[in-house]
């Protein structure tokens, strides 16, 4: 008992200080261990990657990195002087009509591939996932089995998914190459074409990840108060008006969260590309990092620079989602 009294006396100033904290300050205090863990597992690797990106590539000898070169790796990437794989397209934007010319560094091509893939992927998965969620939200016979069927593509491992589409578009194995070539959409060997392979990979990823979007949007739809629709029907609102004024605004927070996760995942695409057409055919920014680190070129500094730039671009997307979409009270979703 005496020991407890002495301990309480020693901790009395700390206890008094904690009791005088505001609710927000006390909440942040409780979150300090989580922030420390987040710093350890997230920010430390990011800072370490940035430091590596400031060091010279060491292609010979036992050392993996050379001396400090500052932003030279970033300059080499942006100007096309970095030792990286071949280009995806030869397009460079200019300030005069027609606003592009041939001949550009590989990083812009990988950036173009990554951004185009992310934008198109999020667009199509959102539209398809929203449509699937609207259907699954209805009460009909066999809805449970339809939900299972929608989820099945999401359960397929990425490597298996890549092999499915790889075999599907092999000219001598699958039916996809002959079918698309007969329609005049793809070449005879689409997996050897960067343009055709890009769309094959895009279709494959949309097929898989639309289920993810549908499930998140469905969770938002099922949280909507059904009595609102009854009132709207009595008031004479059409189906489009009910969707526009009730469904979409109330499901928007869940939709934005789903789009945010999908954008981050699409920006990091690698496994599907490598297992379907290969990074030399459809290079992404993550492909550049993997090839630079493990492709035998030993350009660790350049690869780290690409990895850090990828993280920065993803951070920009996250900031846009957080800052752009706010509720009526001024808080973010």
Minimal CA–CA distance to 155: which of 116, 105, 211?
A: 211
Domains defined along the chain, listed by start: 110-282 (1.10.3720.10)
Rg (the chain; Cα; Å): 26
Burial class of 138 by CB neighbour count within 10 A (0 to 12, 13 to 18, 19+) = exposed
d(CA 268, CA 118): 9
Beta pairing class for 55-57 and 100-101: unpaired
Q: What is the mean pLDDT of the chain?
A: 80
Quick: pLDDT tens for 197-232.
899 999 999 999 998 899 889 888 888 888 888 888
DSSP character string of 47-67: HHHHHHHTEEE--SSS-SEEE
Residue showing tokens 């460079």: 92
Q: Is the pLDDT of residue 192 over 60?
A: yes
d(CA 99, CA 110): 19
CA 287 to chain centre: 14
Bigger pLDDT: 18 or 108?
18
Decide if 303 contacts 50 (C-beta within 8 A): no
pLDDT classification of 125: cutoffs 50, 70, 90 = very high
Return the percentage of the chain with pLDDT > 90, whole number. 8
Backbone angles phi, psi at 147, to 5 degrees: -65, -40
Q: What count of other Cβ atoms lies within 10 Å of the Cβ of residue 320?
A: 12
Looking at 6-20, 85-99, 317-331, which range is the least confident one?
85-99
């Amino acid at each position: 008992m005496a020991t407890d009294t002495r301990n309480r006396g020693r901790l009395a100033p700390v206890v008094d200080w904690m009791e005088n904290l505001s609710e927000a300050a006390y909440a942040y205090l409780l979150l300090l261990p989580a922030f420390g863990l987040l710093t350890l597992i997230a920010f430390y690797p990011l800072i370490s990657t940035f430091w590596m990106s400031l060091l010279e590539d060491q292609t010979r000898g036992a050392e993996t990195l050379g001396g400090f070169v500052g932003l030279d790796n970033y300059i080499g990437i942006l100007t096309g002087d970095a030792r990286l794989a071949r280009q995806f397209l030869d397009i460079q934007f200019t300030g005069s009509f027609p606003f592009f010319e041939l001949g550009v560094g590989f990083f812009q091509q990988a950036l173009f591939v990554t951004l185009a893939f992310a934008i198109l992927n999020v667009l199509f998965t959102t539209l398809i996932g929203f449509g699937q969620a609207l259907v699954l939200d209805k009460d009909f016979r066999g809805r449970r089995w339809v939900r299972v069927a929608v989820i099945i593509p999401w359960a397929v491992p990425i490597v298996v998914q890549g092999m499915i589409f790889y075999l599907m578009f092999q000219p001598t194995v699958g039916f996809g190459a002959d079918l698309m070539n007969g329609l005049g959409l793809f070449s005879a060997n689409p997996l050897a074409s960067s343009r055709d392979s890009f769309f094959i990979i895009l279709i494959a990823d949309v097929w898989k990840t639309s289920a993810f979007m549908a499930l998140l949007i469905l969770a938002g739809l099922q949280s909507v108060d059904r009595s609102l629709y009854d009132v709207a029907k009595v008031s004479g609102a059409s189906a489009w008006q009910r969707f526009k004024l009730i469904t979409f605004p109330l499901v928007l927070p869940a939709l934005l969260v789903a789009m945010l996760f999908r954008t981050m995942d699409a920006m990091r695409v690698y496994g599907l590309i490598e297992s379907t057409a290969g990074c030399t055919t459809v290079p992404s920014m993550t492909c550049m990092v993997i090839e630079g680190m493990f492709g035998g070129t030993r350009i660790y500094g350049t690869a780290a620079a690409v990895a850090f730039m990828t993280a920065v671009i993803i951070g920009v997307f996250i900031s846009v989602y957080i800052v752009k979409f706010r509720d009526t009270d001024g808080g973010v979703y």
